[in-house]
Chains A and B, each alone.
Chain A
Amino acid sequence: SYVLTQPPSVSVAPGQTARISCGGTNIGSKSVHWYQQKPGQAPVLVVYDDSDRPSGIPERFSGSNSGNTATLTISRVEAGDEADYYCQVWDTRPDHYFVFGTGTKVTVL
């Protein structure tokens, strides 16, 4: 099955930039979506189609996707950005459908 690999953790100081990678074979050919999940809460879509933001998501959240790696970038990190982040793609192979990444815990120092 299609596998999306994320680093288990990323640490960043307030005001700095956090970059979270999502690796997958030829992921650049797929649309990648990113979710933020704070403790005890449901995931929230923060970036879709590689780099678009849903209404209400700050411009500090951005994304890119090329080759075998997609990246979620959080600029000017705030304490409230501390959460788990998951990438997700649609696997076009029959009977596979949705795949989530392994998840990355972002810690604000």
Chain B
Amino acid sequence: QVHLQESGPGLVRPSETLSLTCTVSGGSLSSYYWSWIRQPAGKGLEWIGRIYSSGSTNYKSSLKSRVTMSVDTSKRQFSLRLTSVTAADTAVYYCSRELGFGSGSYRFDPWGQGILVTVSS
């Protein structure tokens, strides 16, 4: 059974770069898309972007200028970098596997437990 675990700093200074890593266990990264999704406290879910095991990426248009994702299949990890952060980027960040690629049924399962990242000086 695939398990995902986010890791990284819980506190980031304004204007600096948020960096998170998701480690996948119980399965391979190959032939899947992997996504980052965030959720501000008390609010809804926001998809940030995704990366394929080959390294191909897609980002939410409003975040594209600040987001970079990468993948290391040998380590079973994929990563998120978000530059020039502000308080509005404070949220719980989740990583997840995308299912249904090629079928039109794009959904997320499973999800990591999430990591709270606070942007504050």
Contacts and interface: CB of A to CB of B under 8 A. Distances in A.
Interface of A: 31, 33, 35, 41-45, 48-49, 54, 86, 88, 90, 95-103
Contacts, number: 61
Contacts of B110: 44-45
A44 B45 CA distance: 13
Contact of B45 (A31, A43, A49): A43
Given A97-B50, A100-B46, A103-B44, A88 B61 contact: no
Contacts of B47: 97-100
B35 interface: yes
A99 B35 CA distance: 13
Give the 7 A-B residue pairs with the shortest CB-CB distance, closest first: A98-B47, A42-B111, A90-B106, A33-B107, A45-B109, A100-B45, A95-B61
A102 B39 CA distance: 12
A88 B107 contact: yes
Contacts of A100: 44-47
A106 B10 CA distance: 30
A103 B47 CA distance: 14
B26 interface: no
Contacts of B61: 95-96
B111 A44 contact: yes
Contacts of A54: 109
A48 B46 contact: no
B121 interface: no
Given A97-B47, A100-B45, A102-B44, A31 B111 contact: no
A100 B99 CA distance: 16
